Structure 1
Amino acid sequence: MRFKDKVVLVTGATRNTGVSIAALFIREGAKVCINGCTEKGLQKGASELNRAGLKNFDQFIGDISDIVQVEKMFQLIKEKYGRLDILVNNAANQGVGMKFDTMKPDDFLQVLKVNLLGTFQVSQQAVRIMVEQKSKGTIINLGSNVSKRAIHDRIAYVTSKGGIDALTKAMATDLGSKGIRVNMVAPGYIYTDRWDELSPEVKKRRRSNIPLGSEASGEDISQAVAFLASDAAKNITGERLVVDGGCSAQHLPLDIDL
C-alpha cells in the first residue's frame, strides 16, 4: 500500500471525482478526511464510500471560501490526527452557464472565492501543519485543461483554473525549501453524474473529439493524483499533469479538422 497510515484531506469529496480520489487513498491504506461545504453533500459522499465497503475516513464540514470555517476544520483535523501528509484541493464551483455579458460581478467573485481563494486558504492551513512534521507533505491541486484552451460561457471557471496554474507554480517555488511538494492534475472531460443528463448524440460527439475516444473516469484522475502524491514523484514539483485523452494536444477537433 503506497499510503499506509498517511493522513489525507480531500476537499469537495461529496460526489464524482472527489469521492473517487478519497476511495483510492482509503484502499491504499490512508486515513482520509473528506470535506464538503454542506452536511447533505458530505453525507452523500460518505454513503458512496460506505456502499463501496470503505470505512477508514472521517467527515469534516467546511466552506473553503470562508476562512473561519477553514480554520475550524483544520483545528479538528489536527486534534484528531496531529498531522497531515497529503492535501488534495478538489473542491470547485463549476460556474456553469455564466455568460460574460450578463453575469453579475458577485457571481464571478463567488467562483473565484471557492476555486482560487479557497485553494489558497486550505493550502495555507495545511502547510502550517506540514512544516511541523519530520516528513513534510505534498499538495495536489485540481486544475483543468480549460486554463490553456477556454470554453464558452464558463468565464469565471476558466479564469479561476488559470489562477490555479499560476498558484501551483508559485506555491511550489515558495514551499520547496520547506520540503513540501505542490503539483496539479488538469483533467479534461470527466464522466460525472452530469453526463447522465446528456443525450446519446452529445456524448457521441464529445467522445469523437477526444483523440483517445473516451472521457476520463474518476479512477483515471485518482490515479494521476496518487502518482503525484507518491514517492514515485518525490522529485517532481510545480508540474501540470494533463489527463484529457489528448484534447490539449490537438489543434482542431475531428469533426472540424476534415
Structure 2
Amino acid sequence: MRFKDKVVLVTGATKNTGVGIAAFFIKEGAKVCINGHSPKSLERGADELRAMGLEGFDQFAADISKEEQVSAMFDYIKVTFGRLDILINNAAQQGLGSTFDSMTSDDFLKVIMVNVFGTFQVSQQATQLMERQEGKGVIINLGSNVSTRAIHNRTAYVTSKGAIDALTRSMAIDLAGKGIRVNTVAPGYIHTDRWKVLPNAEATRRRMNVPLHQEATIADISAAVAFLASDEAKNITGERLVVDGGCSAQHLPMDIDV
C-alpha cells in the first residue's frame, strides 16, 4: 500500500471524481477525510463510499469559499490527525448555462470563489500544517484541459481553470524550499453520472473528439492523482499532467480535419 497511514484530505468528495479519488486512497491504506460543501451533499458521498464496502474515513462539511468554514475544517484535522500529508483540491463549481454576454457578476464570482479562492484558502491552511511536520506534504489541484482550449458558454469555469494552472506554478515555486510539492491533474472528458443521461448520438460525438476514442474513467484520474502524490513523483513540482485521451494534442477531430 503506497499511502499506508498517510493523512489525505479530498475536497468536493460528494460524487463522481471526488468519491473515486477518496476511494482510491482509502484502498491504498490512507487515513482519508472527505469534504463537501454541505452536510447533505457530503453524506451522499459518504454513502457511496460505504456502498463500496469502505469504512473508517472521516468527513467534514465546509464551503471552501468561506474562510471561517475552512478554518473549522483544519481545526478538526489538527485535532483528529495532527498532520496532513496529501491535499487533493477537487471541489469545483461547474458554472453551467451562461454565455459570456448573459452572465451576471454573481454567476462569475460564484465559480471563482469556489474554484480559485477556495483552492487558495484550503491550500494555504494545508501548507501551514505541512511545513511544521516531518515529511512535509503534497498538494494536487484538479484542473482541466479547458484552461488552454476554451469551450463554449463556460467563461467562468474556463477562467477559473486557467487560474488553477497559474496558481499551481506559483505555489510550487514558493513552497519548494519548504519541501511541499504542488502539481495539477488536468482531465478532459470524464465518464461521470452526467454521461448516463446523454443521448447516444451526443456521447458518440464526444468520443469522436478524443483521439483515443474513449473518455477518461474516474479510475484514470485517480491513478494520475496518486502518481503525483506518490514518492515516484518526488522530483516533480509545478507541473500539469493532462489526462484527456489526446484531445489537447490535436487541432481538429479526425472527421473534421480533412
Contact 1:211–1:247 at 8 Å: present in 2 too? yes
Aligned to 1:43: 43
Instruction: Report the alpha carbon displacement of residue 208 of structure 1 after superposing the two structures with TM.
Output: 1.3
Offset of residue 209 of structure 1: 1.5
Deviations 1:50-108 (A, max 9, x none): 01111131011000000010000000111000000000000000001121111101110
Instruction: Within 5 Å, give how 1:9-158 maps onto structure 2.
Output: 9-158=9-158
Output aligned runs, 1:156-195, within 5 Å: 156-195=156-195
CA distance in 1, matches of 2:205, 2:185: 25
**Given residue 257 of structure 2, which amino acid in structure 1 is its aligned partner?**
D
Equivalent residues in 2 for 1:231-242, closer than 5 Å: 231-242=231-242
Q: Which residue of 2 aligns with 1:202?
A: 202
Gaps of 5+ in 2: none
Shift of the alpha carbon at 1:21?
A: 0.2
Contact 1:184 / 1:239 at 8 angstroms: preserved in 2?
yes
Contact 1:208 1:254 survives alignment (8 Å) = yes
Superposed displacement of residue 196, structure 1? 1.2
Q: Which amino acid aligns with 2:97?
A: G
- Indicate whether 1:229 and 2:229 are aligned: yes
Query: Does structure 2 conserve the Cα–Cα contact (< 8 Å) formed by 1:96 and 1:154?
Result: yes
Distance in 2 between residues matched to 1:200 and 1:152, nearest whole Å: 21
CA apart distance, 1:255: 2.6
Displacement of 1:253 in angstroms is 1.3
Provide the rounded CA distance (Å) in 1 between the counterparts of 2:94 and 2:126: 24
In 1, the alpha carbon distance for the partners of 2:7 and 2:147 equals 30
Shift of the alpha carbon at 1:254? Answer: 2.0
Q: Which runs of 4+ in 1 moved over 4 A?
A: none
What RMSD over aligned residues (CA atoms) do the two structures have, in Å?
Answer: 0.6
TM-score norm. by structure 1 comes to: 0.99
SS of residue paired to 2:91: coil
TM-score with structure 2 length normalisation?
Answer: 0.99
Identity within the alignment, % = 69
Q: Distance in 1 between matches of 2:100 and 2:87?
A: 33
3-state SS in 2 of match to 1:35: strand
Q: Which runs of 5+ in 1 are unaligned?
A: none
Between the aligned partners of 2:255 and 2:19, the Cα distance in structure 1 is: 34
Distance 2:98 2:254 in 1: 27
1:6 alignment partner in structure 2: 6
Q: C-alpha offsets along residues 218-254 of structure 1, whole Å, 9 cap, x if unaligned? A: 1000000000000000000000000000000001112
**How far off its partner does 1:32 sit?**
0.2
Give, as a single letter, the amino acid of the residue that structure 2 aligns with 1:226: A
Query: Tell me, what secondary structure is at the counterpart of 1:242?
Result: strand
Q: Distance in 1 between matches of 2:156 and 2:58?
A: 32
